[in-house]
Structure 1
Amino acid sequence: MMDARGGHVLFLNWRDTTHPEGGGSEVFLERVAAELVGRGYRTTLLCQAHGTAPAEETTASGLRIVRAGGRHTVYLFAALIYLAGAVGLGPLARRRLGRPTVIIDVGNGMPFLSRLYARRPVIALVHHVHREQWPVVFGPRVARIGWWIESRLAVRVYRRCRYVAVSESTRDELAGLGVDPRRITVVHNGTSEVVLPPAPRTPHPSLVVLGRLVPHKRVEFALRATALLATELPTVELVVAGHGWWDEPLRQLADDLGVADRVRFAGFIPEERKHELLCGAWLLLQPSLKEGWGLTIVEAGTRGTPSVAFRSAGGVADAMADGRSGVLVDDEYEFFLAIRALLLDTRRRNEMGVAAVAYARRFTWATTGAAFAQVITDELPATQPTRTDQRVP
């Protein structure tokens, strides 16, 4: 196989990190892109347009971003822009994507199906399987259609493609859908080195939830646990950091539970504030229904903060060492009991914090980028050209 350095990597993803609903999967993509640029690749991301974000821009790391379409139409625009660039057709051709060496097709439930129209090597990147999330986010009919596309159609379309999964849990789920395990490579998320000075722990019991405020993140579990804990630990505090359209129902629930005075909704927070929260919290709570990886778990671990999450949530099980750097639970009652036990046991909590730091050090973006670059190189035929001219085959 050839070395693809100098090639053009085209990412197809529904969002970028500046999107109001961007999350861990977008962070993964853009950090991988930055690592690839550092290895001599040219990188482009096609994603949906949003707000006042420009139709095109290039980030400080060298990633070119092309934005078009909306939440549901970005998939169509990706195909149209790609194909229009091949023949120089119409206004869309002005945003032609060039000649990619390889396409990274990111399936966030709904894949781009680029294998149907792009005669280039395609790698399917999957963070997690959305079996549980379809009925939570959509009605029964749309959920059935979405799950059929993800579990049946996509598996058929990408049957000859290399898959990248971000965790062993996702790899196993893909294999359960019929993807040949020999075609699945696991490339873990990295985590950024902590460069800010340590911040002190809060003197009172403190909990933090980080993430988008949407139903399948199940922040309600953290609110109800806080309400129960408050009867025994009157100074306990929960910080909910993140934004999303599920914000108001969560605030209403905090009022209904009588804990509005001990729950702070911090909204979107900059990196400096996130660092302070993760350093100061006694525990990170991750009640999400499903995650491809536990990015916030590892971020908390780098600050010596253990986590409590759900075993059934997928990749979170790979982001911690259960019983050593955090605790995995099976239901909401166990979630509450695990939080309570750790808040009351200072020695065990501190030991888990030390183990969390050691575990988190295993994951770096440099390692992630090197692993992804190797997947790209291995997937290209020996005769694949590396030059990146302006016509798409």
Structure 2
Amino acid sequence: MEAPAAATRHILFLNWRDTRNPEGGGSEVYVERIAGELVRRGHQATLLCATHAAGPAEEVTADGVRVLRRGGRHTVYLRAALAYLAGALRLGPLSRRHGGRPDLIVDVGNGLPFLSALYARRPVIALVHHVHREQWPVVLGRWLAKFGWWVESWLAPRVYRRCQYVTVSAATRNELATLGIDPARVAIVHNGTPDMTVGVVPRSAQPSLVVLGRLVPHKQVEVALRTVAALVGELPGLTLAVAGQGWWEPQLRQVAEDLGVTERVRFTGFVTDAEKRELLAAAWVALTPSLKEGWGLTIVEAGAVGTPTVAFRGAGGVEEALVDGETGLLADDVDDFTAKVRLLLTDEAYRSAMGTAARAHAARFTWPVSGEKFVALVTRAANAPALAPAEPVAASYLVP
């Protein structure tokens, strides 16, 4: 552990999920790695998230981050507010000076934020991975989607109008600006690249693809399945590994059956970090057909083992995680996606050169560097004058 910071603080992260949650993803990895970097620098970090069967009510991670699981998928937001107001978080010795409350809150908005700036008399940093404009209609019905988008695009910018923002890419900072959030208040702290050290893992003998992530509609894994169906006639040995789990898996299996590629597609379910590294290292090309990503963690993970990625142009932070034409290729539509995959699968020299460039690009992003940047944000926010909670939003505005 590194030497303690000059001013040791307790930071509370509010996030709907954690990495042990079966539905956890890149956002959760980011939060816990950043929290771990704060601990390494002498701070205390607590994560409050929703309960689930894969984790106990309380635990401490290997990085020293305390995890509290309270409430369910929808009630975690209310439980967080009640626990804070009651001073019932039992956050440890540093928080006793504040009646059981933290020095600073990092409020993670995955579409729906915790709105902690309404009730917390502490500095709040609003962490936004990406804007969910396109996802709301895909994930929810018409009216719930409208409500979700209203919260994200209208209510949240007003609740956090006094707060420092942080995001993971310039693309998201630009999108936040369209919601009226001054880019000067939005810091960028990129994801680090996880340790992707892997033993000798040869590339598969036959052309192979891999898509890694949660199996939910907006990840658009169907595009990967249709790519296999379109190319299998030209590349008879082509296979696809779909690594991850999620409630959309039955629908994806049905799509594979309808396309006649069931024998070409392997659904791996949950994979360990070691299994993930091996899958990415063995594949010829990685696919990220997601509608939107704040960063594109799987892109740099694939790059770290020399595997180029094909993704969609305009899908948020993927345009920074991937350097088009150098570390992978960006497609304009589904047909172009298939064409870009075909190009990489059939041109070994081009694919190999991209893999080498992808490995170098991924090495630029490290968690220690990201941790240093985040510590600077925490220090600046914690040293700001004490804030009263944001004024309540007028009742007449509480309907979209």
- Compute the TM-score of the two structures, normalised by the length of structure 1: 0.93
Shift of 1:382: 6.3
Matches within 5 A, 1:233-382: 233-381=235-383
Deviations 1:95-152 (A, max 9, x none): x993211100000000000000000000000000000000000001000010000000
| Counterpart contact for 1:127–1:166, Cα < 8 Å | yes
Match of 1:312, SS? coil
Query: Among the aligned pairs, what percent are the same residue?
Result: 62
- Secondary structure of the residue aligned to 2:71 is coil
Query: CA 1:307–1:97 in 2, change beyond 3 Å: closer, same or farther?
Result: farther
Match of 1:30 among 22, 29, 32: 32
The equivalent residue for 1:185 is 187
| Aligned residue identity for 2:69 | R
Structure 1 contact 81–97 (Cα < 8 Å) conserved: no
**Amino acid paired to 2:122:** R
- Aligned counterparts of 1:5 and 1:36: Cα–Cα separation in 2: 12
Which residue does 2:397 correspond to in 1?
A: none
- Report the 3-state secondary structure (helix = DSSP H, G, I; strand = E; otherwise coil) of the residue aligned with 2:87: helix
Is the CA contact (8 Å cut-off) linking 2:208 and 2:284 kept in structure 1? yes
Aligned twin of 2:63: 61
Give the gaps of 5 or more residues in structure 1. 89-95, 385-393
- Runs of 5+ unmatched residues, structure 2: 91-97, 387-400
CA contact (8 A) 2:21 2:54 kept: no
Amino acid aligned to 2:127: L
Alpha-carbon distance in 2 for matches of 1:383, 1:251: 54
Q: What is the distance in 2 between the residues matched to 1:17 and 1:380? A: 27
Alpha-carbon contact 1:326-1:356 (below 8 Å) kept: yes
Quote the Cα distance in structure 1 between the aligned partners of 2:249 and 2:310.
22
C-alpha distance after superposition, 1:183-231 (max 9, x if no partner): 0000000012333323110111000000000111000000000001001
The Cα offsets for residues 23-61 of structure 1, whole Å up to 9 and x where unpaired, read as: 000000000011110000000011001115211111121
RMSD of aligned residue pairs (Cα, Å) = 1.6
The match for 1:101 among 100, 103, 124 is: 103
Among 1, 8, 11, the alignment partner of 1:9 is 11
Residue 97 to residue 16, structure 1, CA distance change in 2 (3 Å): farther
1:207–1:237 Cα contact (<8 Å) kept: yes
Equivalent residue in structure 1 for 2:147, among 142, 145, 148? 145
Q: d(CA) in 2 for partners of 1:25 and 1:239? A: 22
Contact 1:75 1:112 in 2 (8 A): yes
Partner of 1:233, secondary structure, is: coil
Which of the residues 209, 212, 215 maps onto 2:211? 209
CA distance in 2, matches of 1:383, 1:365: 29
Deviations 1:272-291 (Å, cap 9, x if unpaired)? Answer: 11111111100000000111
- Secondary structure of residue in 2 paired with 1:225: helix
Question: Across the two proteins, how many residue pairs are aligned to each other?
Answer: 375
Counterpart AA for 1:292: G
Runs of 4+ in structure 1 over 4 Å off? none
Q: Cα distance, 1:383 vs. partner? A: 7.4
Match of 1:77 among 76, 79, 83: 79
Name the CA distance, whole Å, in 2 between partners of 1:5 and 1:293. 31
Contact 1:44 1:97 in 2 (8 A): no
Rounded to whole Å, the distance in 1 between the matches of 2:309 and 2:209 is 10
Q: Indicate yes or no: 2:126 matched with 1:124.
A: yes
2:237 maps to a residue whose letter is: T
SS in 1 for 2:12: strand
Distance 1:152 1:281, change over 3 A: same
Q: Is the 8 A contact 2:11 2:43 kept in 1?
A: yes
**How big is the shift at 1:5?**
3.7
Residue 354 of structure 2 aligns to which amino acid in structure 1?
Answer: M
Q: What TM-score comes out, normalization by structure 2 length?
A: 0.91
The more displaced of 183-192 and 51-60 is 51-60
- Bigger relative CO (Cα 8 Å, ≥ 6 apart): 1
